[in-house]
Amino acid sequence: MVMEIVCPAGTPASLRAAVKAGAHTVYCGFADETNARNFPGLNFSRFEMREGISFAHDHGVKVLIAINTFARAGSEALWHSAVTDAAACGADAVILADPGLLAYAMRHHPQLRRHLSVQAAAANADIINFYAKSFGIKRVVLPRILSVAEIVDINAQTEVETEVFVFGGLCVMAEGRCSLSSYATGKSPNMNGVCSPASHVEYSESNGMLDARLGGYAIHRVGRGEPAPYPTLCKGCFSAGNKTGYVFEDPVSLNAEELIPQLQKSGVIALKIEGRQRSRSYVAQVVRNFRAAVDALDAGKPMPQGLLASLSEGQAATTGAYKKTWR
């Protein structure tokens, strides 16, 4: 079976671009703090969602709605209405992380398919099976801290479908279990759907060097004219002990293209591309390349190599935790 390509869409235009470029499935979110890419100008109104799903379904493409932040105490109704509206819009599944919200969705919308978000960081077969038993999840998006060997083990021990990230931004920490961003800025992926938000980024120049700050903390410095990476906290430059460097992770992004055959053998059903904040042309290009790769694999042809290198953030890519030495 051809591996399913799951593509990001931050806007209705990106959704249409992804569908036309050959996506099997598109994922997106409502324009509020219920999803983990709550950026200004991104995401879908209820009307746009309904239209987008209709367009995708007309082309035989599925749409998943990410409602994957953790509901704020006292304001759960916002998250509940997102689940209710996802069902009403005709979503093929919702992607959830919060146990309380999973319980709500199962009770009130039992027919709506539930996927476990990467933000739940379910990192072994026991917890995946526990989520399946508790909330009837049909698919899990695996955290980006697992090796291919561990993914093989998980697939051998669960009936739940597995989806893995293959391209785009790379979380170094177990997803949904990181509050570095709110420590520095007050805004976090879990509570606000943002990490290292642009509203807290400042650039300043002194002595021919360009400093990038997040929440006032200087975490990047480059010479004039050099490309300045976005100051994401876990990819910042710091000092620890007597060393200065990328303590957590280099400013790289994930590209596991070369591992697709291994991932298929490991039993993974779907390949996920990160980047709802990306442009529609980027989305279209990445989707076309990954679709070509899985089609070639399915036809027993050699995989096209290195198609995506130039699209990677800062031009540097890693296969991340899929190779055990990353740890």
Chain residues in the site for other proteins (CB under 8 A) = 70-74, 76, 97-101, 103-104, 121-124, 126-127, 129-130, 143, 145-146, 150, 153, 172-174, 176-180, 182-186, 188, 190-191, 211, 215, 217-221, 234, 236-241, 243-244, 247-249, 321, 324-327
Tokens describing residue 313: 């953030």
Q: Quick one: 55 or 326, whose CB is closer to other proteins?
A: 326
Q: How far is the CB of 278 from other proteins (least distance, A)?
A: 25
Q: Quick one: 212 or 284, whose CB is closer to other proteins?
A: 212
**Which residues lie closer than 8 Å to 130 by C-beta, 6 or more apart?**
none
Q: Quick one: 204 or 281, whose CB is closer to other proteins?
A: 204
CA gap 284, 294 in Å, rounded: 16
Q: Quick one: 20 or 72, whose CB is closer to other proteins?
A: 72
Cα→Cα distances 52→207, 209, 247, 248, Å: 50, 45, 41, 38
Q: How far is the CB of 226 from other proteins (least distance, A)?
A: 15
Q: How far is the CB of 193 from other proteins (least distance, A)?
A: 13
CA gap 300, 80 in Å, rounded: 45
Q: How far is the CB of 167 from other proteins (least distance, A)?
A: 19
Cα→Cα distances 10→83, 152, 176, Å: 18, 31, 20
Tokens describing residue 108: 């009130």
CA gap 164, 22 in Å, rounded: 18
Q: How far is the CB of 38 from other proteins (least distance, A)?
A: 15
Q: Quick one: 218 or 297, whose CB is closer to other proteins?
A: 218
CA gap 80, 127 in Å, rounded: 24
